[in-house]
Amino acid sequence: MQPHPKAIMPKRIILMRHGESKGNLDNSAYTTTPDNKIPLTDQGLAKARLAGIDLRRVVSDTDSDSPNWRVYFYVSPYERTRSTLRELGRSFPKKRIIGVREECRIREQDFGNFQVEERMKAIKQTRERFGRFFYRFPEGESAADVFDRVSSFLESLWRDIDMNRLQLNPSHDLNLIIISHGLTSRVFLMKWFKWTVEQFEQLNNLGNCEFRVMQLGEGGEYSLAIHHSDEELLEWGLSPDMIADQKWRASNSNKGAWNEKCAWNLDAFFDHLDDDSDDSTDEDDKSEKTNHVSDKSY
């Protein structure tokens, strides 16, 4: 989806996972506490405050032509994401914050209700055999289900960008910061960059308070390769082809050119076809037309 020609594009879209939660330390927390109410640990709170300093350093961008940067936050309604935002928000003066929106569609994958620890271990082992993307937790969601609601969120986000609802002053560099969860963030990237299920399966999860920076490139495409190094992208599970795509997005102004040559859009389905197959098809078409005319003469 492309924005309206007059739309003001955010300079960055940053995806961040919440800080360390009590559930990250002890899975038994889920047996007595609803997932959405699991709090951060003391270390998670402290790390979220430090992450705020890192985020401000990224968005303030001392090399930028415009010092008038602003931020707009989207946050999952879970306690651990809301607490993460409260702590990292200490690094941002109010005049820099355009707004905050709690967004239910970027919540954690639903694993069911209260989780029995031993049963959940067995379920997760089954998920590894079945595949992370399509496996649906009993009474919960699959990553494919999360993909659907993240897709809906992205449509709303594009409308907000298209209608300039998030940025009233065109002289400001807008940064969208999305405080969410590990799998939800990976699904967001999958949807945005049109990665395949196989490519998603190879991605590594974000660490607590770790973030991914999608920055607007010269050609109007967002890329992970502007802020992040090749080594980081490899560590996160991106293949060489995926990294090449990110580099193209960072600099190329010929929109659509990469997709025409994109290996995972062509070779995965048509690698068995000959390059000159069009020629034989054309000859077959001519032959069919000749026979058709010959039949009519009788």
Rounded Cα distance between 38 and 33, Å, is: 6
Provide the 8-state DSSP code for 40: B
Q: Among 124, 30, 135, which residue's Cα sits nearest to residue 78? A: 30
**Which is the catalytic residue, given 20, 79, 108, 141?**
108
Q: Among 71, 104, 102, which residue's Cα sits nearest to residue 88? A: 71
DSSP string, 75-121: E-SSHHHHHHHHHHGGGS-GGGEEEEEE-GGGSPPP--SS--HHHHH
Q: What is the largest CA-CA distance in the chain?
A: 90
How far is residue 128 from each of residues 134, 142, 248, 286, measured CA to CA in Å?
11, 13, 33, 52
Indicate if 18 belongs to the active site: yes
**Which is the catalytic residue, given 18, 172, 181, 228?**
18
Residues annotated catalytic, as ranges: 18, 108
